């Protein structure tokens, strides 16, 4: 699972930006609020998840503390999260213009300050993997903030 590189206040504010979106779902059977479902989906996509399965897997892997921050309801001593079918249904039904407008408002207030990223790679000296190959690390660093947004072990070079 990719870690969410957002501050607590950014996560906790995310559902508020989706409150004005019309909920297209039928009133009966709703287990999760629309703002919570959209906040979870948005965070998963910001972490690089793609497709309903990837988003669902990311949401299912959240800790109880993270689920509380996204305002998942508390029931029977736990914080249940939406299923893959709920995520799919919401994304199919919700108005994409409303969703985009809400996300743009959140991004304007809490989004990444950098307008460009530097991608850099390094070969780690004396770091040999189980196959006997050197380890390579790739990083994405913001030009303005100098924040490292991600650092990943890359595929082996030939």
Model confidence over 22-66: pLDDT tens digits? 898 888 878 899 999 999 998 888 887 888 999 999 999 999 999
12 exposure class (CB count in 10 Å sphere: 0-12, 13-18, 19+): middle
Nearest Cα neighbor of 32 from 87, 76, 78, 96 is 87
For residues 149 and 4, give the distance between their C-alpha atoms in angstroms, rounded to a whole number: 10
Q: How far from chain centre, in Å, is Cα 132?
A: 34
Dihedral sign (CA 18, 66, 107, 140): negative
Model confidence over 59-80: pLDDT tens digits? 999 999 999 999 999 999 999 9
pTM of the predicted protein model: 0.69
């Amino acid at each position: 699972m990719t870690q969410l590189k957002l501050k607590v206040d950014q996560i906790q504010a995310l559902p508020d930006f989706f409150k004005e979106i019309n909920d297209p779902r039928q009133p009966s059977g709703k287990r999760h609020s629309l703002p919570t479902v959209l906040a979870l989906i948005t965070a998963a996509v910001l972490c690089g998840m793609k497709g309903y399965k990837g988003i669902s897997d990311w949401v299912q892997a959240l800790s109880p503390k993270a689920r509380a921050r996204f305002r998942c309801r508390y029931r029977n001593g736990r914080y249940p999260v939406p299923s893959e079918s709920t995520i799919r249904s919401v994304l199919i039904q919700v108005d994409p213009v409303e969703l985009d407008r809400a996300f743009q408002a959140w991004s304007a207030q809490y989004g990444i300050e950098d307008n460009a990223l530097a991608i850099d790679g390094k070969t780690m000296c004396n770091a040999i993997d189980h196959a006997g190959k050197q380890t390579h690390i790739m990083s994405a660093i913001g030009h303005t903030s100098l924040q490292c947004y991600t650092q990943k072990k890359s595929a082996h070079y030939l």
